[in-house]
Structure 1
Amino acid sequence: MRCQVGFRSLVTACCCAAVLVVSQGCGRQIPVDEIDATSSGVTLTSTGSDNALHWPQWRGPEGDGHVTDQQLPTNWSESENVLWTSDVPGRGHSSPIIVGNTVLLASAIEAESKQIALGYDLQTGQKLWQTTVHEGNFPAPREIHKKGTNANGSFASDGNMAVVAFFNNGQIYVSGLDLDGNIVWQKSIGQFVSRFGYAPSPVLYQSWVIVAVDHSAGAYLTALEISTGEIAWRQSRGPISSYSTPLVKTIAGKDQLLITGGDQLASYDPATGKELWSTPCIAASTCGTVVTSGDLIFASGGYPDKETVCINASGEKQWSDSTKVYEPSMLAAGDYLFTVTDSGIAMCWDGKTGDVKWKERLGGNFSSSPILVGDLLYVADLKGNTYVFKANPDEYEEVAVNVLGSDSYASPGVADNSLLMRCGFREGGERKEKLIRIGNP
């Protein structure tokens, strides 16, 4: 078996239906304790919240980068349309989420070996609280990609609890915090053998959060009850070394949990964790999150192979080309698929046929993922430029290029007609991170 590589930017289960041993192929084997949803005793319920959920998880309410009913500025700089700027201790690629009046981030302070959670006031930028989630037991530097951090994943929140996952002490820990920053529960959901660190974010599904842990010594998916951290199910995925956050969507009338990696795009029932179908495609290692339009599913990556695919709700491949979109996730808008590749090429496909409508070289390199606001796409590169262009299938139509900071690895969050961005700034030869709210004054 080939050794695969790649990169992206929780109490052990007590109810075990089966113990599977999977081969890592490049090292030791780790048993995966599968937990059956029917015997775990954890009930799935539809939940509501009194809190306004602006941007509750990675890539927003639907996990696809779509923004509704927001008026964002198209032009800004350090002196224009910046409502506030706040310092972020440490370093991380965790993207901001916004719940009510609180902006949530994860970060890692390397010098202190601390993985932390942060809460900021949406209106003022004041840091409301800082909670140490883990101290010590950081992975060795060789276990983290040079572009990566020890806080890559974003929070997910139902409006009452906020959940985050960290790689620490050779395991993946999932922690549930209240919105005042207090740790309510914390669990290790299993071991993790790292090649380049851990990247996925938790995703919401009714009263559960689902966490992907793909590593070649024994990959698995786990669903946890968001208020208590009880494990509802755990499903083995085999020897897969990959970095993608899954997506939950209702497609053809059925809820599906979609994730790439391991030379396939796979669909699981989010209520049980059981596989519905899988389609050979893309690459062994992927980073981007799947996107959908109607009953069509789009995905791209990766390493060592490169492919962009369209698959229908039953897992049948509709079209494919050799484009590689590795770290950024793509964006589907109506009948069209848009992206900016890692190497800075903006593209548009006809989603139904796979025909390339246009390509435009923007330059630079990209890790963050685009959002769609009305008919405008916003996406930031690794030099501090944020490109705004129209979701026009006929041609690349640039609206603005805005410079702020020296880099942006994280993807933006949106709330109250404003953009929340996590950016790096060079100050006195040292890189520091800031959280910035951009909006019309």
Structure 2
Amino acid sequence: MKKAIYRNIAIVSALFVVTFAIMLITNYFQVRQSAPLQTEIVESLKELNIQNSGNTELQEQIRQLDLMARKAYFVSMDHLMTGVYILLGMLLVFLISARMYFANYRNIPSKDLDPIDEWAIKTQARKYVGFAAAGVAALALLFVVMSTPFLVNNSVANGNEQTEETVATNEVAEAVPEAITTYKSETPVTEVTEEASVVEDEIAPETKAEEPTEKEPVATAETTEVAKKAEPEAKPTTPTVAVNTVNSNAFRGNNSSGLSAAKNVPAKWDLAAGTNIAWKKPIPMKGKNSPVVNGNKVFFTGADQTSRVLYCYDLTSGEALWSMKAANIPGSPAQVPKTTDDTGLAAPTVATNGKQVCAIFGTGDLICTDMNGKQLWAKNLGVPDNHYGYASSLITYMNLLIVQWDNQNDSKIIALDLASGDEKWTTTRKERITWSSPIIAQVHSKPQLVLMGNPAIAAYNPENGEQLWRVECLSGEVGASACSSNGIIYGASEYATLSAINGTDGSIVWQASDFLPEVSSPVATKTNVYVATSYGVVASYDAQTGELEKEQELDGEFYSSPIIAEGKIYLFNTDGTMHIFSADKDFELLDSFETGERTYATPAFTNGRIVVRTDESIYCVTTD
């Protein structure tokens, strides 16, 4: 009786193995010959959307098309992996049942046998059966591996490009103790505590501004030519004396929190007329990264197929001070990796602590200079395995530079010594490709390094990389960064939820799914969490309960992340329209005005000034 059962199971499982193998092999030829929505078609739709910015019906149709393309990609990948698991599982069942069926056969019995059983009992024949089953499964798995590149390429062609803000537009924020983040410059200045009064959040004391001297070099010998090309009229000159002590040291400000302590912040400007514009310069090379401000210096990067460059401009005048090219780095790839136009090779935002400034590029090249442009160290972390392009921004903690390195098959956090580039610790992650950026959150006065990923939000001890907690609540392509307030961590992505997590133990406080961000990172106060979507809705949630309090439906899409300063929320849409809201329960739209240039990056705030990077230029808004 048992023999009959084992035999029947073996026959059924063999049929399953053959069936699924045929399905997976057929899938290869289908995806190989499929004609996905081409990039040029997507670009045409984008242009049509721009030309008909007021046509909400058209915008919704384009958005639905994009959502369907994204969903189709993930469904295809899920189905493919499910088929692989079923195939392997049934192969295992077949081998076990066949083994059990033939377990008692050592020699061919003397009695008469059924011809089929006699053939099956023979040792050599049994081996052939096993080899054949394993061969069919192996062939199917080979075609699965061959199918994956086509699915990835089709996904890119379907317009699933992420911008740097999309993905790299994810930077961190919140308080760190004064002993951790305050650095002494050569010329002491008055210490300023980062404290956004309207936000009611304690923000770390600012890095003290380094005051330039007459001996400060204007450009390094290695990069003078690049700087001249970037700004022809720029001449070697002593930088203007620092005008501020409130810095914006990383993506979305200090600790990537989205909160700024800047005072006297401009609330209106006209780029075309030059009203309240201190200066405007064309960008030397393309890049989706956001500007960073420390003291009287503005940092940003640019890249193309031949060069990757870190730039430093004067905050007051906009003059090019120096530039540093990422070159002659051991391990740097001879051929740059393929990226989408919306990501490129200069998507991550730089980070500084007031002593060193570091930049990373889509090639995996990482460079670090002092504040005067002298290279301290450089290294290559490996070529990112990322179908859009690497976009996670850098962040500093004490004397460490922290890199979120989430790739297809190699995800980890790396902490490097800022002065030497030596590796201090590395922690392996379970997450898949991520375009988000790390933040530093304060939980009961203790700093936590918080990273988004697929499928989890996780917190680590920034001093040694120890994982503190991990919550699986995300899915899809994670581009937005987390935010935090009052010990609660907030994280969200499209096709998932907005989750509020207790930073003490990693428990979920509440979840909501009314409006979710794709690229733009949320920002939080003690009372509210604000989320901007890629389809033009900006929403306010109650920070304690998760209840949706109010939404603002606006034209355009949001990739730039909101920044809170002086009780107001500043937010660019991709068309370059600036929206200003009240950062309170009322969440009123205070003003909206067009700047005339498409904007994906998140602006940097300092006392009396805002530095904005667009697709075409970098400019400084002032109240002077």
Same fold (TM over 0.5): yes
Correspondence for 1:391: 583
- Give the letter aligned to residue 498 of structure 2: T
Specify the alignment match of 1:373 in structure 2: 565
Residue 613 (structure 2) pairs with residue 416 (structure 1): no
Superposition deviation, residue 409 in structure 1: 0.9
Partners of 2:463 and 2:300 in 1: how far apart? Answer: 28
Equivalence for 2:304: 109
Mapped to 2, the partners of 1:217 and 1:419 lie a distance apart of 39
User: Would you say 1:155 and 2:350 are equivalent positions?
Assistant: yes
Letter in 2 for 1:185: W
- Structure 2: where are the runs of 5+ without partners? 1-73, 79-144, 150-178, 186-207, 210-245
Give the equivalent residue in structure 2 for 1:122.
Answer: 315
Aligned to 1:343: 535
Match among 332, 336, 352 for residue 139 of structure 1: 336
Partners of 1:137 and 1:319 in 2: how far apart? Answer: 48
**Matched residues in 1 for 2:341 and 2:517: separation?**
19
User: Once the 2 structures are TM-superposed, how far is the Cα of residue 82 of structure 1 from its aligned partner?
Assistant: 0.7
Residues 408, 422 of structure 1: 8 Å contact kept: yes
| One-letter amino acid matched to 2:426 | R
Which of 418, 432, 447 is 1:226 aligned to? 418
Alignment correspondent of 2:236? none
Q: Percent identity?
A: 24
Partner of 1:16: none
1:312 aligned partner: 502
Matches of 2:622 and 2:471, distance apart in 1: 42
Residue 184 of structure 2 corresponds to which residue in structure 1? 49
Contact 2:532 2:538 in 1 (8 A): yes
- Equivalenced residue count is 388
- The equivalent residue for 2:269 is 76
Residue pair 1:263, 1:285 contacting (<8 A) in 2 also: no
Aligned partners of 2:344 and 2:362 also within 8 Å: no
- Partner residue of 2:482 out of 269, 282, 290: 290
Distance 2:180 2:316 in 1: 32
Does 2:253 match 1:88?
no
After TM superposition, the structure 1 = structure 2 runs for residues 128-277 of structure 1, keeping only pairs within 5 Å, are: 128-134=321-327, 137=334, 139-140=336-337, 143-168=338-363, 172-238=364-430, 240-277=432-469
Larger Rg computed on CA atoms: 2
Aligned partners of 2:532 and 2:287: how far apart in 1? 22
Residue 100 of structure 1: CA displacement?
Answer: 1.4
TM-fit CA distance, 1:434? 1.0
Residues 288 and 182 (structure 1), Cα distance of their counterparts in 2 relative to 1, 3 Å cut: same
**Which one-letter code corresponds to 1:158 in the other structure?**
N
- State the SS of the aligned residue for 1:228: coil
Counting strand residues as a fraction of each chain, which structure ranks higher? 1
- The code of the aligned residue for 1:222 comes to I
- Tell me, yes or no, if structure 1 residue 100 matches structure 2 residue 295: yes
**Aligned counterpart, 1:14:** none
Comparing 83-92 with 188-197, which one deviates more in the overlay? 188-197
Task: Tell me how far apart the structure 1 counterparts of residues 565 and 589 of structure 2 sit (CA, whole Å).
Answer: 14
User: Are the aligned partners of 2:559 and 2:574 in contact in 1 as well (CA < 8 Å)?
Assistant: yes
Cα distance change of structure 1 residues 191 and 275 upon mapping to structure 2, 3 Å threshold: farther
1:299 deviates by 0.6
Superposed displacement of residue 66, structure 1: 0.9
Q: Secondary structure at the match of 1:167?
A: coil
CA contact (8 A) 1:242 1:284 kept: no
Deviation, structure 1 residue 191: 4.3
Deviations 1:363-396 (A, max 9, x none): 10111101101111101111111111111323x4
2:491 to 274, 283, 299: 299
Which SS does the other structure have where 1:378 is aligned?
strand
Alignment check: 8 A CA contact 2:479 2:518 kept:
yes
- How far apart in 2 are the matches of 1:208 and 1:131? 21
Partner secondary structure for residue 381 of structure 2: strand
Post-superposition Cα deviations, 1:373-431, rounded to whole Å, max 9, x if no partner, equal 1111101111111111111323x42222122232111100012311000013xxxxxxx
In structure 2, do the counterparts of structure 1 residues 349 and 185 end up closer, same or farther at CA, with 3 Å as the change threshold? same
1:102 and 1:45 map into 2 onto residues whose CA distance is: 22
Residue 69 of structure 1, CA deviation: 4.0
Q: For residue 34 of structure 1, what is the aligned residue in structure 2? A: none
Mapped contact 1:240–1:284 kept (Cα < 8 A): no
d(CA) in 1 for partners of 2:181 and 2:578?
37
Equivalent residues of 1:297, 1:312 under 8 A apart: yes
1:321, 1:239 → 2: CA distance? 22
Rate the CA distance shift 1:393–1:205 in 2: closer, same or farther, 3 A.
same
Q: Decide whether the 8 Å contact of 2:180 with 2:398 is kept in 1.
A: yes
Query: Greater shift after overlay, 206-215 or 319-328?
Result: 319-328
CA gap 1:46/1:355 in 2 versus in 1, 3 angstroms: closer
- For residue 590 of structure 2, what is the amino acid of its counterpart? V
| RMSD of equivalent CA atoms | 2.2
Q: Which residue of 1 aligns with 2:621?
A: 438
More helix by share: 2
Deviations 1:274-328 (A, max 9, x none): 21111110214311121111111101113xx321111111111111122321200
**Structure 1 Cα separation of the partners of residues 622 and 535 of structure 2:** 29
